Amino acid sequence: MVNHEPLWILTAQCPSTLGTVDVVTRSLAETENYIVSMNSFDDRATESFSIRVEFRPLSGTASLQRFREIFAERAAGFRMRWQLSDPDHRTKVAILVSKYDHCLNDLLYRYRTGELAIEIPLIISNHPDLQPLADWHGIPYFHLPISPETKSEQEAELWRLITLHQCELVVLARYMQVLSPELSRKLDGKAINIHHSLLPGFKGAKPYHQAWAKGVKLVGATAHYVNDDLDEGPIITQAVQAVDHSHYPEDLVARGQDIESQTLAKAVRYHIEKRVFLHGNRTVVFAD
């Protein structure tokens, strides 16, 4: 559901300690900022605390300024890392694709209708196939073909484009290239990948055809952050759907692509709405 009320978002993390919720809510109340919704979680495994608050200032910029001044001092005593997100902010997203267009189409539709509060300054691909789709949306398309000989050079150019356009998030919308460990580290916590979820784990070409040959009963998808451990980054969202013997390979592909598109879009939305907190290789996700 899209929330049309202009709300500020406060997110914070700190070591587990008494008074964490109180210092947030008290600081907001004392400075005339009305809390609309709040989620918090204390992780016993890592002894860390996460909180997300949506609020509206009752006195406009004065409420925000007073809150910043008061909360900055109080948060320091709890060793809180915190961030305020402007309701008008639109996250700049670079999309990486190869030849499959289902995830890209879905993201562009949600971008065009305003469902995702993002800007897409560029699309990057190792193939030219999807340029007409980018052109139709008026988004610059950069074709960076990659071979073993050019991989290092093209990844350097990819990184240059991402930084040049000040992209805050990179989305691998079925980008069929393995990122180097160096680039993966640069994108740590700032890049989301989508991967089919099938059991057993079918790798290589035509995974849905492999799954059909084994008679799978579930298809699904996993959206996760990119790290230098291939397809094993922190998980943001997952989804599954039951299938049976009546589904042929092309049916599994269609079902799988629908789930991939929806799962990736949800992960992007959770990220830009500051609903995802990293706890090592795990995530805390405050779903709506």
Q: Determine how many CB atoms are found less than 10 A away from the CB of residue 227.
A: 20
Residue with tokens 């709300």: 7
Contact 43, 279 (CB under 8 A): yes
> Which of 101, 231, 251, 258 is labelled catalytic?
231
DSSP string, 166-231: T-SEEEESS--SPPPHHHHHHTTTTEEEEEE--SS---SS-HHHHHHHHT-SEEEEEEEE--SSTT
**Helices 249-272 + 207-214 axis angle, to 10:** 120
Nearest to 138 by CA among 122, 160, 118: 122
Distance between CA atoms of 108 and 272, rounded to whole angstroms?
15
Q: Give the 3-state secondary structure of residue 95.
A: strand
The residues near 133 (Cβ < 8 Å, ≥ 6 apart) are 101, 104, 105, 108
200 prior amide bond cis, ω within 30: yes
Strands (E), 58-115: 81-85, 91-97
The DSSP annotation for 5-47 comes to: S--EEEEEEEE--TTHHHHHHHHHHHTTEEEEEEEEEEETTTT
Residue 231: active-site member: yes
Catalytic residues: 231
